[in-house]
Amino acid sequence: MATADLAVLRALRTTGHTPRAEALVRRGSRLGEHGALWLAIGLGGATLDRSRRARWRRATLAVLCAYLLNTALKLLVRRPRPELPGLPGLTPTPTRLSFPSAHATTSFAGARAFAGLLPAGPLAALAAAMAVSRVWLGVHYPSDVLAGALLGTAVGSAAR
């Protein structure tokens, strides 16, 4: 597993990288810090869609719960972020802890919890892009992202 994790990380960290692509992915990935993008979607939905406000609030609470659960797991597991010789991470991170990916956790929680309130396809695509961006930027192992996606999907499903 560790060998495959490193191989996928190295492949994504070295494929399709241009200064413009890196700047674009870095900006997009920043939107996911602490679940901010998904919390904003939920708060916006709760504000604008009065008839389904309770559903929006429950879904937004799921994103927040997913983030808090993720943080607790990071502190428990304490896996350090990847360090590839000659290939440093391309974006700052709030901690040096890697497992599970909070971007993946909150993104998949949001995509699952907001499905039915918004079209599921674009939500899933956004969640996947946010999650993969973390490996592409070199700040998470693929297994961090996979674990985060599974955790987020479970929390988001529980909120529906």
Q: Give CA–CA dist 42/58, Å, rounded.
A: 9
Q: What is the DSSP letter of 81?
A: P
Q: Give CA–CA dist 135/151, Å, rounded.
A: 17
Report the CATH number of the 2-158 domain.
1.10.606.20
Q: Give CA–CA dist 77/151, Å, rounded.
A: 14
Q: What is the pLDDT along the chain (160 residues), one digit of tens a residue?
A: 688 999 999 999 999 999 999 999 999 999 999 999 999 999 999 999 999 999 999 999 999 999 999 999 999 999 999 999 999 999 999 899 999 999 999 999 999 999 999 999 999 999 999 999 999 999 999 999 999 999 999 999 998 8
As a whole number of Å, the CA-based R_g of the chain is: 16
Residue 160, pLDDT score: 81
Residue 2, pLDDT score: 82
Q: Maximum Cα–Cα distance for the chain, whole Å?
A: 53
First to last CA, the chain: 33
Q: Where are the domains of the chain?
A: 2-158
Q: Using CA of residue 63, residue 69, residue 72, residue 76, what is the dihedral sign?
A: negative
- Alpha-carbon dihedral 103, 109, 115, 121, rounded to 10 degrees: 40
Q: Give CA–CA dist 105/70, Å, rounded.
A: 7
Locate tokens 């592409």: which residue? 136
